[in-house]
Amino acid sequence: MLHDDADSGTVIDTGYVSHGAQTVALVRHALEGRRLSRLVNTHCHSDHIGGNAALARAFGCTITIPTGEARNVTAWDTEALHLDGFGQRCERFAFDSTMTAGDRLTMGGFEWQALAAPGHDMDSLVLYAPEPRLLISADALWENGFGVLFPELYGEPGLDATRATLDRIAALDVATVIPGHGAIFSDVDAALERAYGRLDAFARDPGRVTRNAFRALIVFHLLDRQSAHVDELAALLEQASFFAMLNARSYRLEPGALAQKLVTDLVAAGVLQVEADVVRPAP
């Protein structure tokens, strides 16, 4: 949430659809009496656009998305938006304008630049404000890694794009990063070093990109739904086209066995917990 002036504010990205009411309440609180005039999306994944429809309804704000996503959102292309076939969901929304790399926006009293950040999503943008040295990094750079390299799984050069994006971020003068997931951080060099290391590991073993995608999508699915029976996850792995495609070219396991394996791995990693075959995100 950015306070543009005494009367209005801008929100960047909006979380999961299932948290819509909570997001509206949090935004209303953060506005401190202002109106929400504008909503800006860094990219169009379910965990970044899920609250768009609810916020537009509650506040009548405009919605700005990256130009590269306009066609997918207009047509509501659930495959391109990584929804049904990926075990994710989102309420449909309409946008008012688009932004392109190189565009400048005034938000929170500062001038921001939209920068291309392909890799996790080829159309994603990050937002950089030189004066306060702030970077809104979306899923291009987290304190510990970055988002799933979806393009790479479609045969597009996601690894190369990610390297170029990290190089672009490394060239900026950044004091503070507001990532798409996790806490705000300031040790940008250490985060970049971890991200490059992760990228090198993916380049050495492309199977890691696939395993990372399975794990992340299962976790996101559960963060949205809060809980699921292992049998429901098995059905999801069988029915959702992206999972079926990944399984066919990696694990090649029966859906039940694959669900069990992923849950076991994610419980061991401390990310999920399971009780009587009901799986939840770890607290």
Q: Which residues bind Zn ion (CB under 5 A)?
A: 45, 139, 147
Looking only at the bridges linking them, the beta strands covering 110-116 and 125-129 are antiparallel
Residues belonging to the chain? 283
Task: Please identify the residue of the shown chain whose CB is closest to the bound Zn ion.
Answer: 45
State which residue, 213 or 258, has the beta carbon closest to Zn ion.
Answer: 213
Q: How far is the CB of 45 from Zn ion (least distance, A)?
A: 4
Q: What is the dihedral of CA 24, 26, 28, 31, to 10 degrees?
A: -130
Q: Smallest distance from the beta carbon of 44 to Zn ion, in angstroms? A: 8
Residue closer to Zn ion by CB (options 19, 45) is: 45
Q: Which is nearer to Zn ion, 38 or 48 (CB)?
A: 48
Cβ proximity to Zn ion: between 3 and 89 the closer is: 89
Least separation in angstroms between residue 2's CB and Zn ion is 20
CB of 135 to Zn ion, least distance (A): 16
Q: What is the DSSP string of 29-82?
A: HHHTT-EEEEEE-SS--HHHHTTHHHHHHHH--EEEEEGGGHHHHHHT-TTTTT
Q: How far apart are CA 189 and CA 168, in angstroms?
A: 13
Toward Zn ion, which CB reaches closer, 126 or 234? 126
- Beta carbon nearer to Zn ion, 139 or 143: 139
How far CA 173 is from CA of 107, 119, 133, 177, 190, in Å, comes to: 19, 21, 6, 11, 14
In the complex, what is the shortest distance from the CB of residue 140 to Zn ion, in angstroms, rounded to a whole number? 9
- How near is the Cβ of 90 to Zn ion at its closest, in Å? 12
Contact indicator for 150, 72 with CB cutoff of 8 Å: no
